Amino acid sequence: MAGGSFQPSGVAKERAQEYEGRVTLFVVMACLVAAIGGSIFGYDIGISGGVTSMDPFLKKFFPEVYRKKNYRTENNYCKYNNHGLAAFTSSLYLAGLVASLAASPVTRKYGRRASILCGGISFLVGASLNAGAVNLAMLLLGRIMLGVGIGFGNQAVPLYLSEMAPAHLRGALNMMFQLATTLGIFTANMINYGTQKINPWGWRLSLGLAMFPALLMTVGGLFLPETPNSLIEQGLKDKGRKILEKIRGTSHVDAEFQDMIEASELANSIKHPFRNILESRNRPQLVMAIFMPMFQILTGINSILFYAPVLFQSMGFGGNASLYSSVMTGAVLASSTVVSIVTVDRWGRRALLIGGGIQMVICQIIVAIILGLKFGTEKQLSKGFSILVVVFICLFVAAFGWSWGPLGWTVPSEIFPLETRSAGQSITVTVNLFFTFVIAQAFLPLLCSFKFGIFLFFAGWITIMTIFVAIFLPETKGVPIEEMVLLWRKHWFWKKLMPPIQELDNSNGQQADLPELRN
């Protein structure tokens, strides 16, 4: 490469136009198996809100909440305000946060497939403990094991999907994770709707059925191939090329393979990826790895998904009606994710994120106005206004489903160079789970304190994040993952923070010595 230029993080030049290959059945099946991890994540999100609205479950583990729900006259917004109940929901995400940090070195050293297997086994153990729980300690231990599974699964699966997918369809295939998540939520809501009629052990069936997708993920993981990027990073170049040829359906993979080789050589020179990710040349990716998952949670979507039955019951819906409404929101979320899969590689990431943000703000404000005027301690929603609230919550969920839901995972997973990719994904998962934990722990007290203002609180955050995307996020559509670093140098803001490109020494054709790459 004498006479060219050296890019201090990533590949040396753009070769995207030279990439060949197609979407093969092999890569589609591999992505489907990997995306099952998303279905377990979604199932756990959906199932917890349903079982916490079931009387037999509350009577056994949270009798105080059961008494407030059924026998006390209390502020409608405060019926479920209980620290223990919040801990049941949030403990899973705190455990996932810690596990995601441990998952990063496993993902990098042993491969994406190893982390997927660890996640599947942890899910199996956690679902078994929850289904057989006889006391609160056993119940929380099961939730913690599920959290460990989420930490490993969310670390590895988005990376796996990004690295297996061809560049021109990476967005759509990566969203298999989010689609599986939404289908998991919808399935959980349907199961809760059916099992709440089975007394007194329906909640055990709801929690225990998580073992089914966990088993699929574990068994499927045994047959998954490792990604070419990971194999090359581990020094298995010949095997990596064979897998690349297999998943692209052609032997003409020289350009893409060369990009992977260059990225791998730099990745293997980096001994401390978490330290490296803090350097100025990685600043744009680091900012996105923090703010994208943070904003995704601060939309308030998880509050609605975790506590949908609780939220609807707090608004005066009956038990069956609240579960039915949560089934509707789950169905809307799953179907709207399909819209994103179809359009993301055609319209781009920015258009979907900005459009979804605007729709979510409008819906949150309208719901807040309805509840502020027509619902309170002494007032119940009429049937007409109850239907209106559900409609606008569904429109909010739909906007999230085709924008920030899938893209909150897709964008961070595709922007990092190989040398910091596992560390970057670990930060993304950690930030996501941290804010998920905070919102899950705080939502019930906030609902009690803010009342209808909770929707305005989230609308404010959505406004901020929509402006953030419009200003700071470049369009990543169609950019090969190994060439993503070149995109930041073209952005009006981020190029000011990037270090200068070091030229090759043309006298001998060797790379200039780059102090910034030393550890």
Q: Tell me the average pLDDT across 493-511.
A: 59
pLDDT value at residue 516: 39
User: Who contacts 172 (Cβ-Cβ below 8 Å, separation ≥6)?
Assistant: 165, 341, 342, 344, 345
pLDDT value at residue 385: 80
Q: Which residue has the higher pLDDT, 34 or 310?
A: 34
pLDDT band at 11 (very low <50, low <70, confident <90, very high): low
List domains and CATH numbers for the chain. 13-499 (1.20.1250.20)
pLDDT band at 515 (very low <50, low <70, confident <90, very high): very low
pLDDT value at residue 319: 58
Report the predicted TM-score, pTM, of the whole model to 2 decimal places: 0.73
Query: Do 210 and 43 touch, CB atoms closer than 8 A?
Result: yes
pLDDT value at residue 118: 92
pLDDT value at residue 204: 94
- Specify the DSSP element, H or E, that contains 503: strand 502-503
What is the residue-wise DSSP string for 320-388? HHHHHHHHHHHHHHHHHHHHHHHHHHHH-HHHHHHHHHHHHHHHHHHHHHHHHHH-SSS----HHHHHH
pLDDT band at 459 (very low <50, low <70, confident <90, very high): very high
Residue 346 clears pLDDT 70, i.e. is over it: yes
Residue 386's nearest CA partner among 459, 464, 452, 325 is 325
pLDDT value at residue 130: 93
Residue with tokens 């943000």: 357
Q: Tell me the average pLDDT across 460-477.
A: 95
Q: Tell me the average pLDDT across 432-457.
A: 87
pLDDT value at residue 505: 40
pLDDT tens digits, residue range 320-343? Answer: 666 677 788 888 988 898 888 888
pLDDT tens digits, residue range 33-86? Answer: 777 877 888 888 778 877 887 889 989 998 888 887 776 555 667 777 788 888
pLDDT band at 456 (very low <50, low <70, confident <90, very high): very high
